[in-house]
A and B are shown apart, each in its own frame.
Chain A
Amino acid sequence: MRIPLKWLSEYVDITLPAGELAHRLTLAGLESLVETSGHNWDKVSVAHVVEVNPHPNADRLRLATVDLGEGERMTVVCGAPNVAAGQKVAFARQGAKLIDGHSGQPMELMPAVIRGVESAGMVCSERELGLSDQHEGILVLSEDAPIGMLLAQYMGDVILETEVTANRGDLLSVLGTAREVAALTNNEVHEPLDTYWEDGTAVSELASVAIVDSDLCFRYCASLIEGIKVGPSPQWLQEKLSASGSRPINNVVDVTNYVMLELGQPLHAFDLNLVGDRKIVVRRAHSDEKLVTLDSVERSLNADMLVIADSSKAMALAGIIGGAPTQVTQKTSSILIESATFNPVNIRRTSSSLGLRTEASIRFEKGLSQELAMVAVKRATKLLLGLTGGRAAKGIIDVYPNKARVHRIMVSRERLQRVLGVDLPPTKVRQTLTALGYGCRWVSSAHYVVRVPYWRTDVSIPDDIAEELGRIIGYDQLPSTSLTGPIPSIQPQPDRELRGMVQDALVAAGLQEVINYSLVDMEKLSKVVDPEELSWRPPVRVANPMSKNQDQLRPTLRVSLLDSLATNRRYGRETMAIFEAGRVYLAQEGDLPHEVEMVAGLVSGRRLDRWGQPHGEPLSFEDTKGYVEHVLARLGLQETYEAAEEYALVPGRTAVVSVASERIGVLGQLHPEVTGAWDIGQEVYLFEISLEALLPHIGGVRLYRPILRFPSVIEDIAVVVSEDTPAGKVKAAIESFPLVRTATLFDIYTGQPIPPGKKSLAYSVSYQADDHTLTDGEVERERNRIIERLRKELSAELRQ
């Protein structure tokens, strides 16, 4: 809310510079900024020129002695020709931020010695204050300017821009803000006047009010004025409204807006002569009822909305906006001022369903005090009588079905200490609460009874009182301690740990982590996921996405990674090894989606050469598989790879990865049609591991195996097999023999003299026994058995 400091000062003395005031309010929960028209007058105040004497060393300079209030005087050097004793001037102290009169640049005022005379302040020109370009002489203020008052406050164009939290509807008013200021600065609040002469007819003879739906309207107050004259508001009112960001319309509407800004209670004025049968009915709208609102929009209402109607038609959308037919115009002579309390939930529901948020609705939805309705209607009536003339009807209509009771809270001293961590002395508690308008009584030896002021609808429990005390005393004044209780026992989080290990392993292997949005485009999804799967289990969709191509919760990381790869290719990067560890979301009927932890990566481009340039061999399936092997080896797992077919991957270049015969992931080359869809004209390899599938296979700590004492015998075995025999099978067959420790492939050869359709595989085989040194005979017998089995099972021939 925009609060002019000058207006605020009508209700509370402002004894702090604006910046400091905003700071204190901010700390206490009302975020505030000082807005000035481009200048900061924190250290500039009104001063009285007591005397002017010649400068001892300069003809064109003079010495001005000024009275700064509270007995403080200062003599400064002044070059202005118009300075004279008796004037009220704007005086800047050391540290004031001004505009340099000559250069026009911002500067900070520092003490200076001018022609041998010390000068620790300045009498300012308009230009120095940033008010205009006028720099011929000093700014002379009017004679009644109060000495010592901050110039910002006096000149009246300093605005406090406040950000009110959702619980504090009472702070959407100048008076509410003044109450905070008063409590924070130990000053009194001056409540505005609300007394006036009632010399008209009794209200009951002029109009009636009936609340039909008392669940939506808690109180309805109305005053009536006859014989008014509608016209423009006086200058002071227009200026205040404009400064607060409200557009002046006419004196009646302006007063209702003024009182809303002043007290926080939205009001509405009806042209009494246009109210059918002079009867106000507060009821739910009929279905299909229509109302042209003040903004000239015809609105279709429904039975969830509350209207203010007369005997036949809706006249206003309760608590949100008035209607055009009964609005106050130049012709209006009698008015009914409505000041009511509506159900905040209903107001918010109606205003959001119509997409119509008004100054009134944002106040009502926060929950206004029912007491305030009466206070505000009186205040408005008083102001109106002064501006529009006319006679106020005797009495005020007040339909108040369920009178709100004064709220009292029993607060124990011990609870305050338990919450705030400090035992506040009762005098401090009472003083602080009283300053905020609370009643505070000390009963028994350990409890307070706190009476909540009517305007504070947000306070209901002892901890609310703790907050009130804490924020006014200052959170910074509370002690600061370390947690002392027992540290809770640790619950294992294996999924988190696994993700961390996999991330670290991939980073150690040289991959860059990326993180992408969780929402993706359906069209892109259908390129990388089998459309049948998508139709069998559609992704989870967001009803109101930020953009149309980000509306599906990703069931795969593939789209995200391809996006990242494509983005970087556009920046000229052709070699990349990237991964993402994140969740995918699988729809479940009637329940939250199943969120599966996945890790996937893309590898594309060329290996680094000796110079670190990506000009080496092309990155291939082997490199990608290397990463998968590296990660799984780090985790202490033994996996198997099997040729497979997978949507979006090239057949014959795809492998399913399994641990203990369970599929945990896949790797392979992305199909050229897929990469083509992302405009990627190079080979791209994908690996994809489900951490959820991997998790059950993660063992505990690895057990030590003794280092074998007996020497191993290493021999090479080369076999010729059919070209489509997987090398992994040959290795597995060799390693199945009891004396074989490992069989490591070290060469693959095709071509002469190997017959066409065959290949030669060479393994380095290590033989070793646990309990003795192998003899040549043992090794030979084992070798012969190996060759025999390879021949039988894989039609392998020993290469000669």
Chain B
Amino acid sequence: MSTGELQTLEAQANDSLAAIADETSLEDWRVNYLGRRSRLTEILRGLSALPLEERKQVGAAANRLREALETALAERRDMLRKRDVQTFIQQGRIDVTLPGRPIPMGRLHPVTQTQRDIVACFEKMGFQAVEGPEVEWDYYNFEALRIPEHHPARDMWDTMWIDYHRDGRMPMLLRTHTSPNQVRVMERQQPPIRVVVPGKCYRYEATDATHEWMLTQVEGLAVDEGISMADLKGTLYEFAQQLFGQERRVRFRCDYFPFVEPGADMSIDCFVCNGEGCSTCKGAGWIEIMGAGMVHPEILANVGYDPERYTGFAFGMGVERVAMLRHDIEDIRLFYQNDLRFLEQF
């Protein structure tokens, strides 16, 4: 046993390590030169049999060699890994502009979307959404709202009647507005009341770009002690800003609906021209959004509320109209044609 053999071993090990290009061969090399049955381990194990001087000399050299080989192994392994990563990076290039794996995209109908947005605005203000029947009694649609038969205000709501006769009259109809629910809600609840009622309505009306015989409305009703026109204004103002943006201005004007007094309608300043006048607002600078007013005291009295104690406001708006304004849709008929080229835009 001599240090010469160690030198030869070192030279051999280094030569063969330099030729190694993969992890498997590297492991083989480790077993061969540093493993339990390697020559070097054998030498180290045999040291005790050597005379003291030689043991010191060979032992130191063998340990040095072991350290050197371990270092060389670690370096080689590191080098190989870096090289592998480099190779992976070079070979693994992909075209990142290729389309992703397609996931079918579903959408809600724009009327559903807008209706939900409107309802959400009011829910934040403590209103709850409830619903009512689309086929109604004349009583709820008209009479209970102070629109008896032969009242000229019936002209405001051309009606589709159900082919059902009783006492020489047709008492059933397709509701022309969501307002019957004002009475329905008050009949089953006591104040305080804050509800919104979304739903489909129907009019006997020829269709054109701004008229449909089926439409969606959202009705609102708040009844409590101390509710005034000022609260109506504040609530609807808040709604308009939430839905149409903080910079929108609103305008209230007097209007007539038999079931409210005072009556009003609300407009927002045109967001196309900012009130200058354009084709969207027909030159007026303002776009009418909804009818509103203070619930008529007779209606409160008829459902058993004390109109001296309670006051309330009501409002109603067309969802399609709001959707048209938000999305700049020029023809209301697009909503129910269900052309996917239209629906998939929202």
Residues of A within 8 A of B (CB): 26-29, 165-168, 344-345, 348-349, 352, 362, 365-366, 417-422, 461, 463-464, 466-467, 470-471, 475-476, 478-488, 490-491, 493, 495-496, 500, 503, 506-519, 540-546, 553, 563-564, 567-568, 571, 573, 576-578, 583, 585, 592-593, 595, 608-612
Instruction: Tell me if B103 is interfacial: C-beta within 8 Å of chain A.
Output: yes
Task: Check B262 against A470 for contact (C-beta < 8 Å).
Answer: yes
- 0/1 per residue, B189-224, Cβ < 8 Å to A? 100111000001010111100000110000000101
Task: Check B228 against A515 for contact (C-beta < 8 Å).
Answer: no
CA distance A451 to B294 in the complex (A): 23
Task: Check B150 against A420 for contact (C-beta < 8 Å).
Answer: no
**Shortest CB–CB separation between residue B240 and chain A, in angstroms?**
11
Complex partner residue of A493 from B128, B150, B252, B343, CB under 8 angstroms = B128
- 0/1 per residue, B313-346, Cβ < 8 Å to A? 0000000000000000000000111111101100
Residue of A nearest to B158 (CB): A544
**Shortest CB–CB separation between residue A614 and chain B, in angstroms?**
10
Q: How large, as a class, is the contact surface on chain B? A: 35 or more
Task: Check A507 against B106 for contact (C-beta < 8 Å).
Answer: yes
Residues of B within 8 A of A (CB): 99, 101-109, 111-112, 116, 125-126, 128-131, 133-137, 149-153, 155-156, 160-164, 170, 172, 174, 189, 192-194, 200, 202, 204-207, 213-214, 222, 224-231, 233-235, 237-238, 251-256, 258, 261-264, 294, 296-297, 311, 335-341, 343-344
Given A481-B230, A611-B99, the answer on whether A512 and B254 have CB atoms closer than 8 Å is no
Given A463-B294, A544-B161, the answer on whether A349 and B231 have CB atoms closer than 8 Å is no
Given A418-B311, A514-B343, A585-B135, the answer on whether A478 and B230 have CB atoms closer than 8 Å is yes
In the complex, chain B residues whose CB is within 8 Å of the CB of A345: 149-151
CA distance A523 to B301 in the complex (A): 47
Task: Check A515 against B254 for contact (C-beta < 8 Å).
Answer: no
- Besides the contacts A166-B258, A478-B233, A510-B103, what 10 more A-B pairs have beta carbons closer than 8 Å? A167-B256, A345-B151, A420-B228, A463-B294, A475-B253, A482-B238, A540-B164, A577-B106, A578-B340, A611-B99
Task: Check A567 against B170 for contact (C-beta < 8 Å).
Answer: no
Given A475-B252, A482-B231, the answer on whether A593 and B225 have CB atoms closer than 8 Å is no
In the complex, chain B residues whose CB is within 8 Å of the CB of A593: 135
In the complex, chain A residues whose CB is within 8 Å of the CB of B104: 509-510, 577, 608
**Shortest CB–CB separation between residue B141 and chain A, in angstroms?**
11
Q: Which of B116, B222, B233, B238 has the most CB of A within 10 A?
A: B233
9 contacts between A and B (CB under 8 A): A27-B251, A166-B153, A475-B264, A476-B252, A510-B105, A553-B135, A568-B339, A595-B134, A610-B102
Task: Check A512 against B340 for contact (C-beta < 8 Å).
Answer: yes
**Shortest CB–CB separation between residue B154 and chain A, in angstroms?**
8
In the complex, chain A residues whose CB is within 8 Å of the CB of B99: 611-612
In the complex, chain B residues whose CB is within 8 Å of the CB of A422: 230
CA distance A593 to B134 in the complex (A): 9
CA distance A608 to B192 in the complex (A): 53
Task: Check B101 against A610 for contact (C-beta < 8 Å).
Answer: yes
CA distance A484 to B235 in the complex (A): 11
**Shortest CB–CB separation between residue B140 and chain A, in angstroms?**
10
Given A480-B230, A513-B112, A564-B338, the answer on whether A487 and B251 have CB atoms closer than 8 Å is no
**Shortest CB–CB separation between residue A562 and chain B, in angstroms?**
11
In the complex, chain A residues whose CB is within 8 Å of the CB of B200: 518, 583
CA distance A500 to B155 in the complex (A): 35
CA distance A611 to B101 in the complex (A): 7
In the complex, chain A residues whose CB is within 8 Å of the CB of B238: 482
Task: Check A483 against B253 for contact (C-beta < 8 Å).
Answer: no
In the complex, chain A residues whose CB is within 8 Å of the CB of B296: 463
Residue of A nearest to B293 (CB): A467
In the complex, chain A residues whose CB is within 8 Å of the CB of B264: 475
Task: Check A344 against B337 for contact (C-beta < 8 Å).
Answer: no
4 tightest Cβ-Cβ pairs between the two chains A and B: A421-B230, A510-B104, A421-B228, A29-B254
Task: Check B231 against A515 for contact (C-beta < 8 Å).
Answer: no
CA distance A545 to B164 in the complex (A): 14
CA distance A710 to B341 in the complex (A): 53
Task: Check A482 against B234 for contact (C-beta < 8 Å).
Answer: yes
Task: Check A515 against B338 for contact (C-beta < 8 Å).
Answer: yes
Task: Check B194 against A464 for contact (C-beta < 8 Å).
Answer: no
Given A421-B228, A507-B106, the answer on whether A493 and B130 have CB atoms closer than 8 Å is yes
**Shortest CB–CB separation between residue B275 and chain A, in angstroms?**
12
Task: Check B192 against A488 for contact (C-beta < 8 Å).
Answer: yes
Given A507-B106, A608-B104, the answer on whether A420 and B174 have CB atoms closer than 8 Å is no
Task: Check B131 against A496 for contact (C-beta < 8 Å).
Answer: yes
Residue of B nearest to A543 (CB): B163
Task: Check B231 against A481 for contact (C-beta < 8 Å).
Answer: yes
In the complex, chain A residues whose CB is within 8 Å of the CB of B192: 485-488
Q: What is the predominant secondary structure among interface residues of chain B facing chain A?
A: mixed
**Shortest CB–CB separation between residue B278 and chain A, in angstroms?**
15
**Shortest CB–CB separation between residue B257 and chain A, in angstroms?**
9
In the complex, chain B residues whose CB is within 8 Å of the CB of A481: 228, 230-231, 233-234
Task: Check A349 against B254 for contact (C-beta < 8 Å).
Answer: no
In the complex, chain A residues whose CB is within 8 Å of the CB of B261: 461, 463-464, 466-467
CA distance A711 to B294 in the complex (A): 67
In the complex, chain A residues whose CB is within 8 Å of the CB of B161: 542-544
Complex partner residue of A509 from B106, B137, B156, CB under 8 angstroms = B106
Task: Check A518 against B262 for contact (C-beta < 8 Å).
Answer: no
Task: Check B234 against A467 for contact (C-beta < 8 Å).
Answer: no
In the complex, chain B residues whose CB is within 8 Å of the CB of A568: 338-340
CA distance A486 to B194 in the complex (A): 10
**Shortest CB–CB separation between residue A183 and chain B, in angstroms?**
12
Task: Check B106 against A518 for contact (C-beta < 8 Å).
Answer: no
Task: Check B229 against A546 for contact (C-beta < 8 Å).
Answer: no
CA distance A480 to B156 in the complex (A): 29
Given A461-B261, A593-B135, the answer on whether A165 and B231 have CB atoms closer than 8 Å is no
Given A418-B228, A483-B234, the answer on whether A366 and B162 have CB atoms closer than 8 Å is no
CA distance A508 to B133 in the complex (A): 29
Given A463-B296, A476-B252, the answer on whether A518 and B194 have CB atoms closer than 8 Å is no
**Shortest CB–CB separation between residue B159 and chain A, in angstroms?**
8
**Shortest CB–CB separation between residue A703 and chain B, in angstroms?**
27
In the complex, chain A residues whose CB is within 8 Å of the CB of B136: 592
Task: Check B170 against A543 for contact (C-beta < 8 Å).
Answer: yes
Task: Check B109 against A513 for contact (C-beta < 8 Å).
Answer: yes
Task: Check A542 against B133 for contact (C-beta < 8 Å).
Answer: no
In the complex, chain A residues whose CB is within 8 Å of the CB of B130: 491, 493, 496
Complex partner residue of A485 from B207, B226, B335, CB under 8 angstroms = B226
In the complex, chain A residues whose CB is within 8 Å of the CB of B204: 544, 546
Task: Check A592 against B172 for contact (C-beta < 8 Å).
Answer: yes
In the complex, chain B residues whose CB is within 8 Å of the CB of A513: 106-109, 112, 343
CA distance A546 to B212 in the complex (A): 11
In the complex, chain B residues whose CB is within 8 Å of the CB of A165: 255-256
Task: Check B338 against A166 for contact (C-beta < 8 Å).
Answer: no
Given A543-B161, A592-B172, the answer on whether A480 and B237 have CB atoms closer than 8 Å is yes
CA distance A490 to B227 in the complex (A): 20
In the complex, chain A residues whose CB is within 8 Å of the CB of B235: 482-483
Residue of B nearest to A510 (CB): B104
CA distance A674 to B228 in the complex (A): 57
CA distance A593 to B175 in the complex (A): 13
**Shortest CB–CB separation between residue A31 and chain B, in angstroms?**
8
Task: Check A611 against B102 for contact (C-beta < 8 Å).
Answer: yes
In the complex, chain A residues whose CB is within 8 Å of the CB of B194: 483, 487-488
Residue of A nearest to B202 (CB): A518
CA distance A510 to B344 in the complex (A): 12
Task: Check B254 against A348 for contact (C-beta < 8 Å).
Answer: no
Task: Check A488 against B262 for contact (C-beta < 8 Å).
Answer: no
In the complex, chain B residues whose CB is within 8 Å of the CB of A166: 151-153, 155-156, 256, 258
Task: Check B337 against A510 for contact (C-beta < 8 Å).
Answer: no
Task: Check A612 against B262 for contact (C-beta < 8 Å).
Answer: no
Task: Check B228 against A483 for contact (C-beta < 8 Å).
Answer: no
CA distance A490 to B195 in the complex (A): 10
In the complex, chain B residues whose CB is within 8 Å of the CB of A519: 214
Task: Check B227 against A483 for contact (C-beta < 8 Å).
Answer: yes
